[in-house]
Structures are given as C-alpha cells and as structure tokens.
Amino acid sequence: MGLAFAGVFGYLLVNVAVGLVAVSVGSTAAFGVAAGVLAVVGLGLGTAFVLLRKPWSRGLGLGLMIGWALASIVSAGYCTGLNPELYA
C-alpha cells in the first residue's frame, strides 16, 4: 500500500518535470513528445512493474498508473496531453 502512494508521488514529480520542459520549449512537437513520455512512464512502466509479480513492484506499478489517471482527471487532460486543444 505504501509503495502505491510512492508511485503516485513519483509520477507526479515526473509529470511536473516533463511538463516544465515542454512548456519552456513551447512547441507543438514538445507537447506531443511530453505526452508520449508521460504515457510510457505512467502506463507502460506501471504495467511492466505489475507484470513482474513481486509485492514491491505491484504497488509501485499500480501507483504509477493511478498517478497518471489522477493527473488526467484533475487537470482535464492538460497535464498528460490527453486534451491538446487546451495548449493553443
């Protein structure tokens, strides 16, 4: 359970770092790359950790996926690149 919270917190830290880089570059391509990186980190790495089937990796993987989902819901897709119309 504790590693799930660590996964959520870790994803949010990665989200802030990647978001700041994308906003500082400011191009449409940067937002696309940032959205891809965030999806791979949140969903891809989270799934890989869950598939390892170890207790620590399951919690961390679920936390990463939950973090991606929470960031998507709370920011209406702005922070994860699901709603690119908000960037213009």
In order of 10, 11, 44, 69, 86, the CA distances from 7 in angstroms are 5, 6, 13, 12, 27
**Domain range for 38:** 2-81
Question: What does the pLDDT look like over 57-69, one tens digit per residue?
Answer: 999 999 999 999 9
> Is 17 part of any domain?
yes
> Is 42 part of any domain?
yes
Q: What is the DSSP letter of 84?
A: G
Question: What does the pLDDT look like over 28-74, one tens digit per residue?
Answer: 888 889 989 999 999 999 999 999 999 899 999 999 999 999 999 99
> Is 86 part of any domain?
no
> Is 19 part of any domain?
yes
Smallest CA-to-CA distance from 41 within 73, 8, 74 is with 8
Q: How many domains does the chain have?
A: 1
Task: Indicate the pTM of the whole model.
Answer: 0.88
In order of 5, 61, 64, the CA distances from 87 in angstroms are 29, 29, 24
